[in-house]
Chain A
Amino acid sequence: NAGVMQNPRHLVRRRGQEARLRCSPMKGHSHVYWYRQLPEEGLKFMVYLQKENIIDESGMPKERFSAEFPKEGPSILRIQQVVRGDSAAYFCASSQTTLDSEQYFGPGTRLTVT
């Protein structure tokens, strides 16, 4: 039973380019969460999605960031026109049900903006 998978593991983008981060939840999980982690800091919630629906995007910047979780395929976190401040580790987690259900984390994508 594969865990949460994220790709790419490392992504380098120049300022102004687009970054696409992918997350495949654990088998049987329909809830996906994205978090951002700056060096030496804790993870910060960005967005919570269920299949084809954004449930809570209160932690996601209003501009340049978007997320989707289509009926088929992985969840995508898209960052348009990246800036240096977007450099961070982005983690995806998935859970089977809602409240109190353990969230399993993927290995993360480390985005570096040059």
Chain B
Amino acid sequence: GESVGLHLPTLSVQEGDNSIINCAYSNSASDYFIWYKQESGKGPQFIIDIRSNMDKRQGQRVTVLLNKTVKHLSLQIAATQPGDSAVYFCAEINRGNEKLTFGTGTRLTIIP
């Protein structure tokens, strides 16, 4: 069945270092992927998205990489800051299907 999973449940990174959060998906029909950030007690916040016809997309301090061959998605955060501490979710949407399918999440902790 469809699933979106993450390799690591927790990740600790020194402030100022770069971090990489990984996500695997199993549905080859997935054509739109989104990374969300969720801080404690808040709703998910959109970070960056990527369509299946792309393999890389950059935003401010964030980069998303998509490898369709191995069905792998990653989020790179450059020069991490204390405010980056949160749980990060990848999510996917299939063509014709409006609902987001979320992964379990990775808790990122920035060490001062």
A residues engaging B (CB < 8 A)? Answer: 4, 31, 33, 35, 40-45, 48, 55-56, 58-59, 91, 93, 98-100, 102-108
Contact A91 B98 (CB under 8 A): no
Residue of B nearest to A91 (CB): B43
- B42–A107 touching, CB < 8 Å: yes
Which residues of B come within 8 Å of A, CB atoms? Answer: 4, 32, 34, 36, 41-46, 49, 51, 89, 91, 93, 95-105
| Chain A residue with Cβ nearest B105 | A42
Of the listed residues B43, B96, B101, the one surrounded by the most CB atoms of chain A closer than 10 A to its CB is B43
Q: Is the CB of A99 within 8 A of B42?
A: no
- CB of A12 to closest CB in B, whole Å: 16
A40, A43, A98, A108: the one contacting B100 at CB < 8 Å is: A43
- Beta-carbon contact of B49 and A99 below 8 Å: no
Taking CB atoms, residues of chain A closer than 8 Å to B41 are 107
A104 near B46 (CB under 8 angstroms)? yes
**Shortest 8 CB-CB contacts between residues of A and residues of B:** A105-B43, A42-B102, A45-B99, A43-B102, A105-B44, A42-B104, A107-B43, A108-B43
